[in-house]
Each structure stands twice: as structure tokens, then as C-alpha cells.
């Protein structure tokens, strides 16, 4: 039972005893006492005046006195106008402490029975994953873990955009300038090799556009008439027609990319329950286009292209099929959505996609609704801000991105350099050190990105993220390692933790403060899940770690001579380490036993 529910239940008893009135405890307003007042929780008295027929102050004082006299968990009270501030006694905090430390499922929320699909990553196969993809992956993975912690059945999925004009551009450039290079012959990861070809295509295309402009053509016309772009569109038409040579090259180059992606996902600790491929789903969308034409939802323009008129919804006309019969992005999104809801009995579908696609998802929901799918309202776009660097935005086609693999390696090197400076790892084997550096590097990267509210654009700075002080992953990892070190020393002294057998002990203000923070963990999980913001959990973990470190600084835990108090403190810090592990696991971050 939460403190708020406990006070409400006892206050209902007080009201009946004092005024003979039956009150539903759930209707009483209880909240955490504001910092400028003395108390733990506050009961709002104003709604009770119709029962007491007295002033707010007299009513509050009467209820407070009854609680103090009859409820051992309440030690004192004060009434400020119509607000009754209540202080819990040592009895209450000991009871709550025992509940937290003896419940192995503490923090796990009850099952909702809901099936929720979360789509994230969903890369194009014309480039390797970069820093922007990392934010997407880390956010999608942590949202999935968060929703699962909140009691939902979660299906993690990705849609690989493995067909379309983008991959045709890479394929065409490989034919023109690739000189038969393979990952093996070039020594490059396959996704990097294909990404280089995409950049090469852009170089060819820009040169052609410049030449056409120099020959007297307008810029807009030159961009449409560039020979390489026309060749890429022809290749896409051949792909959709099933041309063997085009399909074979497509399969080969996509195979290179998939292998590269898998290596990056493994390094990030990312996996998926289901993987969809655009080449399997785009035809489903084309079937829906035909259905929409039959229903009058879509119209065909004179050039043969198919459109949906959304001007009546405050938007504009949206193309759903090109004049040459080829698909656009939204075509396959329509088909994929229908397939997923029908196959998985979904209650909700969350798309983790950057905010530059806000309009796209507005359109997707509207069109699905017009096609008659009632579940269109169960689609949610988790729109997040871009990741920027001190020098500005990244551009894939110009090759000015922070590569995910390079960044992961850089974080490892930063973690190694910072850890070696501490000089505390001398007794570790090289294998143990290597594992620790990876853990710290990834923890720093993940935490730095996830602690920012998803809606905000963020500036990434690797050196700031690896700091062992402040609101960082390594700070929380070091805090956990410090707690485990204390507990190992206690174990070496022959002390075995016994939370269930712990008698009531006098708790200090700092210990009560830690118990309060621990007790809010389940509600923080619920709050974060409702907001789809793992940042809530990240900052909770930091607050808990920071509070422990202040407590550790002021309290010589292992020097305590009273056996019961020593046991209480060890059980308390063990509970802190357990909740830190649960919270950070939602973020996909491991906590080391030693640092």
C-alpha cells in the first residue's frame, strides 16, 4: 500500500469516528508535502468541511489529533489553513522498509494484458548506422523495456527499408565506380561499403546537375533530368518487375548491409522479436491502394499517379502511388500496419521515428482511418528530437555523419583512458578490464542519450558523457560498484544479510529519505511508461545514486557497532543497488560489481 493510500484509509476512519460520516478513501486528496512545510504527506481538508461543520483549521487539527492518538504510524501533524501535514513515525518507515526489502518483485507493475508493438531502428540499406540511429535504437529499446516493466506484453520490431530509390542509387554507383569491391576485398564492413557507394552516387549526381545548369537548364529541371537519377529510377522499375540481374545485385549488396547491421546491433545490445522487410510488405500497400480506389478514398490523376485528398483535414494531397506504378514510403506503411494489427492482435503500435516525420504519421493515421480501420487511433508516433554535434547537423548523402561503429569504439577508448587514470584496476585480468571498458563506454553513451527527454533536440559530447561525476552513466555505475564493495567487505566479516529478521531500529533522516526515494520507484515506472519517456527512469536512478553518495559520505556504514543498525544499513544499501540495477536495465545499461 502506498503512503497516500495508507493515509487516506486512516483519515477515512478518523472522519467516521469524529463526524459519523462514511467516506470512500479513494476520494480523499493526499499528496507529498511541499518542501516549504514540515511533513511527509498532506491531506486536503476543504472537501470535509460539509461533514465537520467547522473551520478548515479546526477540522484539520481534529483529524490530525485523532490520527496521532490512534495510529502509531503517525507521529505528529500541523495544519496550515485547509492543508493537514502529517509526519510518519519510525514505526511506519520500518514497516515500509521491510515491505520493500523483503518483496523480490518490488518495482514490478501488475499485468495490463495489453499487446504493444514498438517499431524502431528501421534503417535504410544504403548506409551504415550513425549517431541519429543510435538515439533511435536506444530510445526504442528502452521504451520497449519500460513498457514491459509496466506490465505490458511488448513486441520489439523493425522494418528494414531494403528496397526503393535509395538502394538503387548505391547499386548504380557500385556498377559505375565500385570496381567490383566486396567487404572481403575492401576490408570494410558491408554497410560501410554500401554507404560509400551512396555518397559516390551523390557526387556523380551533383556533377551532372552542375553540367546541365552550365548548359542553360534551370536548377529544378537539371535535378530532374540528371542521367544518373533517371538510371536509378529505371533500375527501381526493373526491380519491381523482377529483373534477375537487378534482383541478384540487390540481394548481394543488401546481404553485405545486413551483416554489418547485425554487428552494430550486437555491440549496442539491441535485438528484435520480429523483423519485417519492405520488399515483403510494399505489395500489401499496393493492394490497399486498389481498395482505396474502389472505396473512393483515393483518386487517379491524369498521369496515372494515385492520390489521397486530405485538404478537408487541414493537410494537402498525398501521393500513394507514382505514375509509373511504383510505391512510395507511405504505401508500404499502410500495408505493414494492416499486417501487424491482424497478425498480433495489437492494442497499440508505437513508431519511434524522428520529428522530421511528424507529417508522415499524421497522414498515415488519417488514411488508415479513411480506409475503415478502427485501430488507426491506436497508432502512436513517438516523435523525438535530432542529435546534433557542436559543428551542426549530420548529412548522410554528404558523408558527414558520426558513424555508430566509430562512436562505440571511441566510447570504449574514453572509458579505458578514464578508468586507467584511476589506478584501481591493477588486480583485474586483461579480459576483466576489457569487459569493464565496454560496459562503462556503452553505459556512458546510452545514459547520456536516454536521460534527455525524447522530444528535445540534443547535443552529443562524448567526453561529457564519460565523466565519473555528475549526471552520467559511469557515475551511477561507480555508485553501484561502491555499494557492492561495501557488501563484499561485510560478507568477508561473516555478516549475512537478513531483511526478514530485522527488528525495528531507529532510522536517521537520511535513511528515511532513501526509503522514500526507493518507495517511489514503482510509481516512476508507471509515470515514465505513461509518458513514453525513459528519461524519467534515468533521472530517478541519478537522484537515488546521488542520495546514496551523500549518505555514504556522512555515515560510516561498516564502523557501526550496533548489530541491528549495521544490518539495517547493509540491507538498505543492498536494496539501493537492486533498484539501481532494475532501473538501469530498463535503459539497457549493465552495472559492474567492481570499478
553 and 466 housed in the same domain: yes
Last residue of a domain, which of 240, 272, 304? 272
User: Is the residue at 347 inside a domain?
Assistant: no
pLDDT tens digits, one per residue of 510-544: 999 999 999 999 999 999 999 999 999 999 999 99
Q: Do 519 and 413 share a structural domain?
A: yes
DSSP assignment of 187-210 equals TS-HHHHHHHHHHHHHHHHHHHHH
Distance of CA 92 to the CA centre of its chain: 35
**C-alpha cell at position 347:** 492494442
Beta-bridge partners for 30: 43
Domain boundary among the residues 71, 88, 105 is at: 88
Phi, psi dihedrals of residue 349, rounded to the nearest 5°: -135, 120
Answer for the pair 547, 518: CB distance below 8 angstroms, yes or no. Answer: no
Please check whether residues 411 and 540 belong to one and the same domain: yes
Domain co-membership, 568 together with 476: yes
Q: Which helix (H) or strand (E) holds 412?
A: helix 404-422
Could you give the dihedral angle defined by the CA atoms of residues 246, 250, 251 and 257, in that order, rounded to the nearest 10 degrees? 170
User: Residue 40 is part of which domain span?
Assistant: 3-88
**Is residue 225 situated within a structural domain?**
yes
**Is residue 294, in this structure, part of any structural domain at all?**
no
Same domain, 430 and 544: yes
pLDDT computed for residue 396 by the predictor: 44
Same domain, 555 and 437: yes
* Residue 547 located in a structural domain: yes
- Asked if 414 and 440 touch (Cβ cutoff 8 Å), the reply is no
Q: Does pLDDT of 96 surpass 90? A: yes
CB 37 within 8 A of CB 85: yes
Question: Does the residue 115 lie in any domain?
Answer: no
Q: Assess if residue 148 is contained within a domain.
A: no
* Per-residue model confidence as pLDDT tens digits over 546-565: 999 999 999 999 999 999 99
CATH number for the domain that contains residue 74? 3.30.1360.70
How many structural domains is the chain composed of? 3
What is the spatial distance between Cα 150 and Cα 171, in angstroms, rounded to a whole number? 44
Statement to judge: residues 81 and 188 lie in one domain: no
The closest alpha carbon to 460, from 219, 189, 76, 134, belongs to 134
Comparing CA positions, the residue from 155, 142, 268 lying closest to residue 533 is 142
pTM of the entire predicted model: 0.89
Count, residues in the chain: 595
**For 406-417, what is the mean pLDDT?**
90
Question: Same structural domain for residues 573 and 425?
Answer: yes
* Residue bearing cell 504510524: 73
CATH of the domain at 541: 1.10.730.10
Same domain, 180 and 65: no
**567 and 455 within one domain:** yes
**What pLDDT digit, counting tens, does each position of 417-443 carry?**
888 877 777 788 999 999 999 999 999
Average pLDDT over residues 198-209: 96
**Structural domain ending residue among the three candidates 241, 272, 303:** 272
In a domain, 341, yes or no: no
Residues 423 and 565 in one domain: yes
pLDDT digits (tens, 9 = 90+) for 113-138: 999 999 999 899 998 998 889 999 99
Residues 171 and 77 in one domain: no
DSSP 25: G
Is the CA virtual torsion 510, 511, 516, 517 positive or negative?
A: positive
Distance CA 59, CA 52 (A): 6
Within-domain flag for 26: yes
Amino acid at each position: 500500500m502506498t503512503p497516500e493510500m495508507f493515509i487516506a484509509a486512516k483519515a477515512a476512519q478518523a472522519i467516521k469516528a469524529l463526524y459519523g460520516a462514511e467516506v470512500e478513501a479513494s476520494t480523499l486528496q493526499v499528496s507529498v508535502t511541499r518542501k516549504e512545510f514540515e511533513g511527509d504527506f498532506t491531506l486536503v481538508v476543504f472537501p470535509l468541511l460539509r461533514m465537520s461543520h467547522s473551520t478548515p483549521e479546526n477540522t484539520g487539527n481534529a483529524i490530525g489529533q485523532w490520527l496521532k492518538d490512534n495510529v502509531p504510524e503517525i507521529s505528529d501533524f500541523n495544519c496550515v489553513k485547509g492543508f493537514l501535514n502529517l509526519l510518519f513515525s519510525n514505526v511506519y518507515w520500518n514497516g515500509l522498509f521491510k515491505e520493500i526489502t523483503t518483496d523480490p518483485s518490488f518495482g514490478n507493475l501488475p499485468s495490463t494484458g495489453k499487446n504493444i508493438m514498438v517499431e524502431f531502428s528501421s534503417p535504410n540499406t544504403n548506409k551504415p548506422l550513425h549517431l541519429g540511429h543510435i538515439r533511435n535504437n536506444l530510445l526504442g529499446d528502452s521504451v520497449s523495456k519500460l513498457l514491459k516493466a509496466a506490465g505490458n506484453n511488448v513486441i520489439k520490431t523493425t522494418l528494414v527499408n531494403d528496397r526503393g530509390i535509395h538502394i538503387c542509387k548505391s547499386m548504380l554507383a557500385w556498377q559505375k565506380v565500385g570496381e567490383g569491391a566486396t567487404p572481403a576485398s575492401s576490408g570494410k564492413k558491408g554497410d560501410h561499403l554500401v554507404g560509400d557507394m551512396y555518397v559516390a552516387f551523390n557526387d556523380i549526381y551533383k556533377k551532372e546537375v552542375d553540367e546541365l545548369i552550365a548548359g542553360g537548364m534551370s536548377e529544378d529541371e537539371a535535378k530532374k533530368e540528371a542521367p544518373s537519377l533517371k538510371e536509378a529510377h529505371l533500375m527501381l522499375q526493373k526491380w519491381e518487375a523482377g529483373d534477375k540481374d537487378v534482383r541478384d545485385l540487390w540481394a548481394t549488396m543488401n546481404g553485405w548491409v545486413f551483416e554489418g547491421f547485425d554487428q552494430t546491433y550486437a555491440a549496442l545490445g539491441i535485438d528484435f522479436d520480429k523483423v519485417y522487410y519492405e520488399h515483403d510488405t510494399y505489395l500489401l500497400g499496393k493492394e490497399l491502394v486498389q481498395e482505396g480506389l474502389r472505396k473512393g478514398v483515393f483518386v487517379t490523376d491524369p498521369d496515372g499517379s494515385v492520390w489521397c485528398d486530405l485538404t478537408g483535414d487541414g493537410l494537402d494531397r498525398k501521393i500513394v502511388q507514382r505514375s509509373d506504378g511504383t510505391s512510395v514510403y507511405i504505401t508500404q506503411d499502410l500495408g505493414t500496419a494492416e499486417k501487424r494489427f491482424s497478425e498480433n492482435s495489437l492494442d497499440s503500435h508505437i513508431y519511434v521515428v524522428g520529428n522530421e516525420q511528424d507529417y508522415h504519421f499524421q497522414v498515415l493515421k488519417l488514411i488508415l482511418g479513411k480506409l475503415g480501420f478502427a485501430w488507426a487511433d491506436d497508432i502512436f508516433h513517438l516523435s523525438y528530437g535530432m542529435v546534433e554535434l557542436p559543428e551542426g547537423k549530420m548529412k548522410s548523402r554528404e558523408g558527414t555523419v558520426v558513424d555508430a561503429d566509430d562512436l562505440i569504439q571511441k566510447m570504449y577508448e574514453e572509458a579505458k583512458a578514464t578508468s586507467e587514470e584511476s589506478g584501481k584496476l591493477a588486480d583485474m585480468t586483461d579480459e576483466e578490464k576489457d569487459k569493464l571498458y565496454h560496459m562503462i563506454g556503452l553505459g556512458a553513451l546510452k545514459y547520456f542519450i536516454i536521460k534527455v527527454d525524447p522530444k528535445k533536440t540534443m547535443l552529443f559530447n562524448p567526453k561529457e558523457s564519460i565523466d565519473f561525476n555528475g549526471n552520467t552513466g559511469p557515475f551511477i555505475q561507480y555508485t553501484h560498484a561502491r555499494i557492492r564493495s561495501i557488501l563484499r567487505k561485510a560478507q568477508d566479516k561473516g555478516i549475512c544479510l537478513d531483511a526478514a529478521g530485522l527488528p525495528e531500529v531507529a532510522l536517521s533522516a537520511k535513511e528515511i529519505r532513501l526509503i522514500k526515494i526507493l518507495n517511489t520507484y514503482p510509481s516512476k515506472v508507471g509515470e515514465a511508461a505513461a509518458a513514453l519517456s525513459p528519461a524519467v527512469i534515468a533521472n530517478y536512478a541519478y537522484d537515488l545514486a546521488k542520495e546514496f553518495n551523500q549518505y555514504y559520505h556522512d555515515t560510516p556504514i561498516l564502523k557501526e557497532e550496533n548489530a541491528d543498525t549495521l544490518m539495517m544499513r547493509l540491507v538498505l544499501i543492498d536494496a539501493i543497488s537492486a533498484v539501481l540495477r532494475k532501473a538501469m536495465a530498463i535503459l539497457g545499461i549493465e552495472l559492474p560489481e567492481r570499478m
